[in-house]
């Protein structure tokens, strides 16, 4: 069998690896499960526009967070570091209708920059405040396209010049149902046409 | 400075890590640069729906591939393994208007399952054939939402039972401008609530 012999497999959501993030939100209602902050785990997310910066998340209509975000049109994307991986998985298998996810995970809800209702997760290295621009029904999921309105990062990720060093955050990715830490750095944008000097400096 | 002290940084496309894929397409026109197959590198991509399976890619209007995909409403997402990383980067810095990217990279264009025009990249471990459902102008980029209509994978990724083992493909992810190999596997969907036996069996 030659290395690149192909086999047709079932049609499925096979794009990999994808990000996996914890989306935090809070309802405006004052009843119990709607007023407490919630966290939902989302792998169906991506950057969709550069200028202005936008990202998307896809949520099933049945999710508790769908209700909260549809109501407030706000959410925070919290990037997931190694130490958050287990809580991230937990928030993907439980519903905020039944439990208080901040209490259950021991994570801390903090005010989110630029948001009126949505909270951020303190223990996440990067909190991305998002305001919903549009919602599109696609089938099992609704696609929320949102403007990024503020970004807060753990201060230890910034060097003396203010440059963000995301390597230090050990962000988790999701590949075919499994969580992975980042491995070896093998290149940077433009390395295929960069000089040997630049490659040596940046990749060692 | 406490570990999770936050600093507000600039609003930007900071969702990380993201996938990085090679999107192959081909125009229907018979003039030179429009009839030859093209490859564009895309990091602004994600799964957007489960049933039916859909993904999105975002492209700048100025990209040659934008023209080809808008015309045929077809493209193939080719996942990027370690050995394709340099070609992937190269296809992100050069334009198909100026060069034949298959010729320049030495990659092989093969017919793509279910497509009338778009080709697939033989050397990619997974070829995902996509048909455009909608195009939305967002600003710098247009968002192409597409149905996944066929998936072909390298046969060596399938075990005797037909189960796909994507670990073997060593898929590259993109984190803040840099390319990374997958690192340590730290969990699987549901591991936060799984029994010790299951965790031991699946994570060793």
Q: What is the 3-state secondary structure (H, E, C) of chain A?
A: CCCCCEEEECCCCCCCCEECEEEEECCCCCCHHHHCCEEEEECCEEEEECCCCEEEEEEECCCHHHHHHHHHCEEEEEECEHHHHHHHHHHHHCCCCCCCHHHHHCCCEEECCCCCCCEEECCCCEEEEEEEEEEEECCCEEEEEEEEEEEEEEHHHECCCCCECHHHHCECEEECCEEEEEEEEEEECCHHHCCHHHHHHHHC
Residues of chain B with pLDDT under 70: 1, 30-34
For chain B, give every domain's residue range: 18-203
Give the number of A-B residue pairs with CB atoms closer than 8 Å: 330
Model pTM score: 0.96
Decide if A46 and B50 are in contact by the 8 Å CB cutoff. no
Q: Which residues of A touch B106 (CB under 8 A)?
A: none
Q: Measured between CB atoms, does A160 come within 8 Å of chain B? A: no
Give the per-residue pLDDT at B98: 85
Q: Which conformational region is residue B149 in: left (phi greater than 0), alpha (psi within -120 to 50 degrees), or beta? A: alpha
Q: Measured between CB atoms, does A132 come within 8 Å of chain B? A: no
How far does Cα A131 stand from its chain's mean position? Answer: 15
Which one, of A61, A50, A56, lies nearest residue A23 by Cα? A56
Decide if A184 and B188 are in contact by the 8 Å CB cutoff. no
Decide if A16 and B53 are in contact by the 8 Å CB cutoff. no
Cβ contacts of residue B138 below 8 Å, gap of 6+?
A48, A49, A54, A145, B58
Alpha-carbon gap, residue B74 to A168, rounded angstroms: 39
Q: Measured between CB atoms, does B95 come within 8 Å of chain A? A: no
Give the per-residue pLDDT at B82: 97
Cβ contacts of residue B36 below 8 Å, gap of 6+?
B26, B27, B96, B100, B102
Question: Within 10 Å of residue A111's Cβ, how many Cβ atoms?
Answer: 9
Give the per-residue pLDDT at B204: 83
Question: Within 10 Å of residue B70's Cβ, how many Cβ atoms?
Answer: 16
Torsions phi, psi for A199 (to 5 deg): -60, -45
Give the per-residue pLDDT at B30: 61
Which of A 39-78 lie inside 8 A of B, CB atoms? 43-56, 58, 77
Burial A13-37 (b: 16+ CB within 10 A, else e): bbbbbbbbbbbbbbbeeeeebbebb
Give the per-residue pLDDT at A97: 83
Alpha-carbon gap, residue B38 to B25, rounded angstroms: 5
Query: Which run of H or of E encompasses B129?
Result: strand B126-137
Alpha-carbon gap, residue A32 to B1, rounded angstroms: 35
Decide if A51 and B89 are in contact by the 8 Å CB cutoff. no
- Considering the domain B18-203 in this protein, what is its CATH number? 2.30.110.10
Whats the size of chain A, residue-wise? 204
Question: Least CB-CB distance to A182: which of B17, B21, B150?
Answer: B17
Is residue A54 a contact partner of residue B137, using CB atoms and an 8 Å limit? no
Give the per-residue pLDDT at A33: 62
One digit per residue, the tens of pLDDT, for chain A of length 204 reads 578 899 999 999 999 999 999 999 998 876 666 678 999 999 999 999 999 999 999 999 999 999 999 999 999 999 999 999 999 999 999 887 889 999 999 999 999 999 999 999 999 999 999 999 999 999 999 999 999 999 999 999 999 999 999 999 999 999 999 999 999 999 999 999 999 999 999 998
Q: Which residues of A touch B93 (CB under 8 A)?
A: 189-190, 192-193
Q: Which residues of B touch A44 (CB under 8 A)?
A: 46-50
Q: Which conformational region is residue A104 in: left (phi greater than 0), alpha (psi within -120 to 50 degrees), or beta? A: alpha
Q: Measured between CB atoms, does A126 come within 8 Å of chain B? A: yes
Q: Measured between CB atoms, does A89 come within 8 Å of chain B? A: yes
């Amino acid at each position: 069998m030659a290395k690149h012999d192909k086999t047709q497999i079932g049609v499925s959501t096979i794009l990999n690896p994808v990000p996996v993030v914890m989306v935090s939100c809070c309802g405006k209602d004052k009843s119990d499960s709607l007023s407490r902050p919630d966290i939902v785990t989302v792998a169906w997310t991506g950057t969709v526009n550069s200028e202005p910066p936008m990202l998307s998340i896809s949520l099933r209509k049945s999710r508790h967070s769908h209700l909260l975000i549809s109501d407030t049109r706000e959410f925070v994307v919290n990037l997931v570091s190694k130490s958050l991986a287990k809580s991230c998985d937990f928030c993907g298998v439980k519903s905020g209708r039944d439990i208080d996810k901040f209490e259950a995970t021991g994570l801390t809800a903090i005010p989110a920059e630029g948001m009126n209702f949505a909270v951020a997760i303190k223990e996440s290295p990067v909190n991305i405040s998002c305001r919903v621009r549009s919602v599109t029904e696609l089938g099992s999921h609704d696609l929320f396209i949102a403007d990024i309105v503020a970004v807060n990062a753990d201060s230890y990720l910034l060097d003396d010049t203010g440059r963000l060093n995301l390597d230090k955050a050990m962000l988790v990715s999701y590949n075919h149902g499994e969580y992975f830490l980042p491995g070896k750095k093998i290149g940077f944008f433009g390395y295929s046409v960069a000089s040997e000097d630049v490659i040596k400096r940046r990749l060692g």
